[in-house]
Chains A and B, each alone.
Chain A
Amino acid sequence: MTAAQFAALSPLVVLAIAAVAAMMLVPLARLQIVQASAAAGLAVAAALVLLRIGAPAAPMGALFTDDGPARFGIVFACLVSLGALVFLRTGHPAKEAPSLLVLVAIGAATLAGAGHPATLFLGIEILSLSLIALFAFRLTRQGLEAAYKFLVMSGLASSALLLGIALIFAETGALDFAGWGGRGALTAFGTALLLAGLAFKFSLVPFHMWTPDAFEAAPASAATLAGVVSKSAVAIVILRLALTAHLPEPVWSQGLAALGGASVLIGNLLALRQPQLPRMLGYSTIAHSGYIALIIASGTPHAGEAVLFYLAIYAPAMLGALCVSAALGRAPTLPDLHGLMKRRPLEAVALSLSLLSLAGLPAAGGFIAKLFLLRVLIDGSLWVLVGIVVAGSSLGFFYYAKFFTAPFVGHTHDESEPLPQLDRGLLIVCIALIIIFGVAPAGLMNVVAATMAP
């Protein structure tokens, strides 16, 4: 292994060490120490990638790639996991959780760099298995139900994925993405199965069933990992498949577009009548997966940039909303949010701004993400998809608007504890990012453009 290859893989090594260290520390040290070791691992791994900005991609062989999206995916997974680690403490201070959280980050990082079906499968399995444990952590009825649903469906999705890979291999004889192609029936069927397997992890309709349950029952930090970290890694893999593999066309692009369109419409529709904040976020995350899938399906030149941009804007909003949801205790409903502004101004502002961003209204970053989305679709003259996006976002205004005004009206009694300093810091970072991305998006645009540049 050359030095360049080692440098490219070092973030994964650091993460693995951090996961093991956090596990070993469980019987020996206090929770804070365990968390600190996990946090240090995540921060160092992100820093190791950031230090290599501008370095040429290391030749990595077939298994792993070291291109821009992979680096972006690793940094993204580490930073968002770090955010999730901050509010992992609120709610359930279980000592094994930090280690599982780092494992999710490893899975996401592996997935983001996957250039081969083996790494892809490995990444997905590391991700899913750690997530199952995190979902079930509270051992409540709903938690177990969510974990069980995820376990069964994840197993199904993994089998579909494997069978799909096998069928494609049977016809093309290649196991690297670039070698995939061909027009035979086996490849077409394999592609459909591969898409179904990925769509499960990406919570696209009709493979979305686990998402709202997980958001409702799991601790908010686990929901963040499922809804943001794992999703972004899968998005990057799908993007890489779209860019490098020549999968049979009608199945791949139109299949992705169909799944994406269905997710946008159905996710938003199901979110409409949700009175519960985490469940609403669960359905809205299905819709956001749909938007991202539509961007990739468009196949237009700026699609790659648009995906990364969308992910970067989506992350602080989801993180902020879930952090507030965690702070308010188990599954806050709409009436629980009333009068939040009087009791907890920071949380109220963070929640409203996050939802504003998810709704795609300006001054928040979501508006620019929506612009990017519309631009990509209009570039490709995909007017049907534009119509679907317009219909979906219009439905979105209904439920987001209900939630983002709730903190400013009425009054409810509340005896939950005030937020720790660190969580407040996280919320302030989220607010700042949402506003910066919304008001001065040029910086982030340059970053994603540089990331996608060959």
Chain B
Amino acid sequence: MALIALILLPAIGGLVAFFVAGKGERERWVTIATFALMLVLLVGVVATGAEGRWYDKVSYPWVPSFGISLDFAIDGLSATMIALAAGLGIISVMASWSEIRTQSGLFHASLCWTVAATVGVFLSFDLLIFAFFWEAMLVPAFTLIAVWGHGDKEGAALKFLIFNAVAGFGLLAASFALAAMADHMTFSAFELAEMKLSTPVQVWMLLGFSLAFMVKLSVPPFHAWLPEAHTLAPTAGSILLAGLLLKTGAYGLFRFAPMLFPDGLAAVAPYGIALGAAGALYGGLVACGQNDAKRLVAYTSIAHMSIVLMGIAAGVHYALAGAAVEMIAHSFSASALFLLIGALYERTHTRDLRQLGGLQQTAPKFAAAFALFCSALLALPGTANFVGEALVIVGIFQVNWVFALLALSTLIVSVIYATRLLKGLVFGLPQPKPPLADMTWREYWPILVMGIGTLIVGLYPQSLLALLEPAIKAALIHTP
């Protein structure tokens, strides 16, 4: 029951926020309270969890004649991702406090519903329920971009919706095909994982699933929706997109590819790693050439998600652990950077690196925050990103040293774009004049939380790895 409550809570919270909106800041507080309650509930579930891999596991029938049931289960990976969802939810409210002034009720409802659907994704082990939440999260996220974005927001939102909804058909078709191959109609991933499928069939099914996951991960060449969506979305939308929605792709791949198609994944692993390496290089190189700070960070997302793909495709213990850590680390760093750039944009109305600079003289808090997260972006040791990327590269060395060298070269590219961002914003002559106001406490404390998270994972990664270990063990396909 607690797992269903985890999904229902933000769904209902969104409805309440929608209806209480009006005078004052009621909808904002309702939304924050909803996410805070979710965190409490999550801690409760984990603390009272049973022994073994799953803290809690439930199954209720949904459409019995189709063999669809609400199969929910939570392990360390799901719990971490849900905590991230709730945390980023609170941060999104903080980040949009002064930015969002119109239709505030619908905005917070969309925020809550996006989180509710992603929580559904992180909990579902029935493939059709998974697909249900997978597509359900697109609609509120689409609304966030289309209504409160900037510039050609509708075009960007439409691109996001079409790419992801169409890719969702791959997921649906493969799910149906899998269910048709089972001896009785079922969509439960636990039951379907027991099936012994031949490797070519597994590869085909994996390709169907991967279509959805790759588009959400935005690995090139499936990334075309991402730069616009990230750049034109409101700050909260960018935070959720980078911090949460991209992670659903990584999560799906991490969770279901090795579970359902171990042989298929092993067969296509070299291609997956190659695609990831190419994507990481491409994303990094394009990021280097951007003048729009938000666009730059959007392209670094492509690079970092490609590194996650490499880790999952490699399928050895180190690489999987690295991919899992990188998912969390990227959520912190990318969301924080989007928040910072959003706050800066509210003051200066520009994101052009050539028109900004000298924050260390005019706004030291901004400068410190940017310095920290740019170091995370280039995976400086001591940050969570370093742990993630280093583990992935070590893992890939065990599989294929050529790809490992390629992956290493992406680290060099990341130094270029991170320093470029740093130089354009923090150093140099103070621009624009007159000097801008430094961050307020409401802007600063989310940054503080994410900064502390980055450093804790970076300095003591065992804290996170212990939580993720059972999920990583379950996802192993290679054991060199």
A: which residues have CB within 8 A of B? 341-342, 356, 361-363, 367-368, 371, 374-375, 378-379, 386, 390, 393-394, 397-398, 401-402, 405, 408-409, 440-442, 445-446, 449
Q: In the bound complex, what is the Cα–Cα distance between A356 and B140 (angstroms)? A: 11
- Indicate with 1 or 0, residue by residue over B145-169, a CB within 8 angstroms of chain A CB atoms: 0110000001001100110011001
Whether A371 contacts B128 by the Cβ 8 Å rule is: yes
User: Which residues on A sit within 8 Å (CB–CB) of B177?
Assistant: 378
Candidates A371, A405, A442, A449; contact of B172 at CB < 8 Å: A371
With A394-B166, A398-B162 as given contacts, are A361 and B136 in contact (CB-CB < 8 Å)? yes
Whether B135 contacts A394 by the Cβ 8 Å rule is: no
Whether B66 contacts A445 by the Cβ 8 Å rule is: yes
Whether B132 contacts A367 by the Cβ 8 Å rule is: yes
Q: In the bound complex, what is the Cα–Cα distance between A378 and B187 (angstroms)? A: 15
Interface centre among A375, A393, A398 (most CB of B within 10 A): A375
Q: In the bound complex, what is the Cα–Cα distance between A151 and B440 (angstroms)? A: 70
With A341-B103, A362-B132, A390-B166 as given contacts, are A408 and B66 in contact (CB-CB < 8 Å)? no
Candidates B65, B103, B158; contact of A408 at CB < 8 Å: B103
User: Which residues on A sit within 8 Å (CB–CB) of B154?
Assistant: 402, 405, 409
User: Which residues on B sit within 8 Å (CB–CB) of A378?
Assistant: 173, 176-177, 180
User: Which residues on A sit within 8 Å (CB–CB) of B403?
Assistant: none
Other A-B contacts than A371-B66, A397-B158, 10 sampled, CB-CB below 8 A, are: A341-B106, A362-B139, A368-B63, A371-B128, A371-B172, A378-B180, A397-B162, A398-B162, A401-B146, A408-B147
Minimum CB distance partner of A391 in chain B: B166
With A394-B166, A408-B103, A409-B146 as given contacts, are A363 and B173 in contact (CB-CB < 8 Å)? no
User: Which residues on B sit within 8 Å (CB–CB) of A371?
Assistant: 66, 128, 172
Whether B63 contacts A401 by the Cβ 8 Å rule is: no
Whether B158 contacts A367 by the Cβ 8 Å rule is: no
Whether B135 contacts A362 by the Cβ 8 Å rule is: yes
Within 8 Å of chain A (Cβ to Cβ): is B370? no
Minimum CB distance partner of A409 in chain B: B147
User: Which residues on A sit within 8 Å (CB–CB) of B64?
Assistant: 442
With A362-B136, A408-B103 as given contacts, are A394 and B61 in contact (CB-CB < 8 Å)? no
The 10 A-B pairs with the shortest beta carbon distances in the complex, nearest first, are A362-B136, A378-B176, A405-B146, A394-B166, A390-B169, A362-B132, A362-B135, A408-B147, A442-B63, A397-B162
- Closest chain-B Cβ to A306's Cβ sits at a distance in Å of 11
User: Which residues on B sit within 8 Å (CB–CB) of A449?
Assistant: 65
- Closest chain-B Cβ to A442's Cβ sits at a distance in Å of 5
Within 8 Å of chain A (Cβ to Cβ): is B62? yes
Whether B142 contacts A401 by the Cβ 8 Å rule is: yes
Q: In the bound complex, what is the Cα–Cα distance between A62 and B63 (angstroms)? A: 37
User: Which residues on A sit within 8 Å (CB–CB) of B299?
Assistant: none
- Closest chain-B Cβ to A358's Cβ sits at a distance in Å of 13
Whether B162 contacts A394 by the Cβ 8 Å rule is: yes
Whether A361 contacts B165 by the Cβ 8 Å rule is: yes
- Closest chain-B Cβ to A195's Cβ sits at a distance in Å of 29
Whether A402 contacts B158 by the Cβ 8 Å rule is: yes
Within 8 Å of chain A (Cβ to Cβ): is B282? no
Q: In the bound complex, what is the Cα–Cα distance between A361 and B177 (angstroms)? A: 21
Candidates A374, A386, A409, A441; contact of B63 at CB < 8 Å: A441
With A402-B154, A445-B66 as given contacts, are A361 and B162 in contact (CB-CB < 8 Å)? no
Whether A398 contacts B158 by the Cβ 8 Å rule is: yes
8 A Cβ contacts from B123-150 to A: 128, 132-133, 135-136, 138-139, 142-143, 146-147
With A361-B165, A397-B165, A408-B106 as given contacts, are A446 and B143 in contact (CB-CB < 8 Å)? no
Q: In the bound complex, what is the Cα–Cα distance between A230 and B166 (angstroms)? A: 31
With A362-B136, A378-B177 as given contacts, are A397 and B161 in contact (CB-CB < 8 Å)? yes
- Closest chain-B Cβ to A374's Cβ sits at a distance in Å of 6
User: Which residues on B sit within 8 Å (CB–CB) of A441?
Assistant: 62-63
28 contacts between A and B (CB under 8 A): A361-B138, A367-B132, A367-B135, A374-B169, A375-B176, A378-B176, A390-B166, A390-B169, A394-B162, A394-B165, A397-B161, A397-B162, A397-B165, A397-B166, A398-B162, A401-B158, A401-B162, A402-B158, A405-B143, A405-B147, A408-B143, A441-B63, A442-B64, A442-B65, A445-B65, A445-B66, A446-B65, A449-B65
Whether A363 contacts B139 by the Cβ 8 Å rule is: yes
Q: In the bound complex, what is the Cα–Cα distance between A379 and B181 (angstroms)? A: 10
Q: In the bound complex, what is the Cα–Cα distance between A397 and B65 (angstroms)? A: 29
Candidates B133, B158, B173; contact of A386 at CB < 8 Å: B173
User: Which residues on B sit within 8 Å (CB–CB) of A394?
Assistant: 162, 165-166, 169
- Closest chain-B Cβ to A388's Cβ sits at a distance in Å of 12
User: Which residues on B sit within 8 Å (CB–CB) of A362?
Assistant: 132-133, 135-136, 139
User: Which residues on B sit within 8 Å (CB–CB) of A409?
Assistant: 146-147, 154
Whether B146 contacts A374 by the Cβ 8 Å rule is: no
User: Which residues on A sit within 8 Å (CB–CB) of B63?
Assistant: 368, 441-442, 445
- Closest chain-A Cβ to B36's Cβ sits at a distance in Å of 24
Q: In the bound complex, what is the Cα–Cα distance between A401 and B169 (angstroms)? A: 17
With A402-B158, A442-B62, A442-B63 as given contacts, are A374 and B173 in contact (CB-CB < 8 Å)? yes
Whether B62 contacts A401 by the Cβ 8 Å rule is: no
User: Which residues on A sit within 8 Å (CB–CB) of B176?
Assistant: 374-375, 378
Candidates A361, A379, A440; contact of B135 at CB < 8 Å: A361
Q: In the bound complex, what is the Cα–Cα distance between A367 and B171 (angstroms)? A: 14
Q: In the bound complex, what is the Cα–Cα distance between A394 and B66 (angstroms)? A: 25
Whether B143 contacts A363 by the Cβ 8 Å rule is: no
Q: In the bound complex, what is the Cα–Cα distance between A359 and B61 (angstroms)? A: 26
Whether B158 contacts A356 by the Cβ 8 Å rule is: no
User: Which residues on A sit within 8 Å (CB–CB) of B165?
Assistant: 361, 394, 397
Whether A361 contacts B61 by the Cβ 8 Å rule is: no
Q: In the bound complex, what is the Cα–Cα distance between A195 and B135 (angstroms)? A: 36
- Closest chain-B Cβ to A186's Cβ sits at a distance in Å of 39
Minimum CB distance partner of A383 in chain B: B173
Minimum CB distance partner of B116 in chain A: A363
User: Which residues on A sit within 8 Å (CB–CB) of B157?
Assistant: 401, 405
- Closest chain-A Cβ to B217's Cβ sits at a distance in Å of 20
With A341-B106, A445-B63, A446-B65 as given contacts, are A374 and B172 in contact (CB-CB < 8 Å)? yes
Q: In the bound complex, what is the Cα–Cα distance between A180 and B372 (angstroms)? A: 79
Minimum CB distance partner of B19 in chain A: A345
User: Which residues on A sit within 8 Å (CB–CB) of B132?
Assistant: 362, 367
User: Which residues on A sit within 8 Å (CB–CB) of B143?
Assistant: 405, 408
Q: In the bound complex, what is the Cα–Cα distance between A401 and B155 (angstroms)? A: 10
- Indicate with 1 or 0, residue by residue over B54-87, a CB within 8 angstroms of chain A CB atoms: 0000000111111000000000000000000000
